Amino acid sequence: MFPIKGYKEGLLVTLGDGEWEEIQSMLLNQIDSERNFFNGAKVAIDIGERILRVSEMIKLRDELINRDVNLFALLSNSSVNDVNAESLALETKRSALSEDIQGSGVTSLDGDRAILIQKTIRSGTSVKSTGHVIVDGDINPGGEVFSAGSIYVWGKLRGSAQAGMEGSLIEVICAMELDPIKLRIANIAFKQNKLLTKFKRKPVKLKITKDKLVMDYWFGK
């Protein structure tokens, strides 16, 4: 198990020595075994002395995205890694991490910024947020929600919703019931399909997996 430390910006995972493919596999297995802990987390990874190609960084980033984990920094002792990581818009300096939340170990995490709307969003109403959006009510046809983060609707989503407006691929759209006019996460639009019949009147979660919007039960089956 690789050591994990909590910071205000997210988690720092420090990898050990070994062949990269084996180390990467061990990391992904650790994340898979602790899905509830890592789900939606932002992580920085310290790869130490090893040097990674851009293609290897991209593969790591994509593997993490598929697990709802956002890689925001790649730390190492190599200027080559810094150049490669920065080309992918990743942070490369430890200054990207603020002081440890509780001194040592992961004991708590700061929450992400969100707005709570405790009413139904009716036709002609448009909501925009740079954080997550939680709607305690419905989104009616003609109502719109645009969010840089995720969107959670504790009601019926029958209007339009776009999450990840700034390009984040790890955001989700969740609703207690889904019959939308338009849905989008980042640059990927949801196309009406037969899955809506399967999930009719069921809590639904949409996320991006392998460059496609996929639908599943929210809270499990």
87-101 tens-digit pLDDT: 888 998 766 675 443
Q: How confident is the model at residue 20, as a pLDDT?
A: 94
Q: How confident is the model at residue 102, as a pLDDT?
A: 40
Q: How confident is the model at residue 99, as a pLDDT?
A: 46
Tokens of 6: 């909590």
Q: Do domains 4-96 and 114-217 have the same CATH topology?
A: no
Q: pLDDT digit string (tens) for 140-157?
A: 999 999 999 999 999 999
Q: CA 59, 99, 101 angle in degrees (round to 5)? A: 90
Tokens of 43: 């992580």
The full set of domain ranges for the chain reads 4-96, 114-217
Q: How confident is the model at residue 100, as a pLDDT?
A: 43
Going by pLDDT thresholds of 50, 70 and 90, the confidence category of residue 191 is confident
- Report the chain's mean pLDDT, rounded to a whole number: 86
Its CATH architecture, for the domain 114-217, is 3 Solenoid (2.160)
Fold type of domain 4-96: Alpha-Beta Plaits (3.30.70)
Residue 113 scores a pLDDT above 90? no
Going by pLDDT thresholds of 50, 70 and 90, the confidence category of residue 221 is very low
* 132 vs 192 pLDDT, higher one: 132
Question: How far apart are alpha carbons 141 and 104 in whole angstroms?
Answer: 49
* 5 vs 44 pLDDT, higher one: 44
Tokens of 20: 């990269």
Residue 103 scores a pLDDT above 60? no
Residue at 58: amino acid letter: I
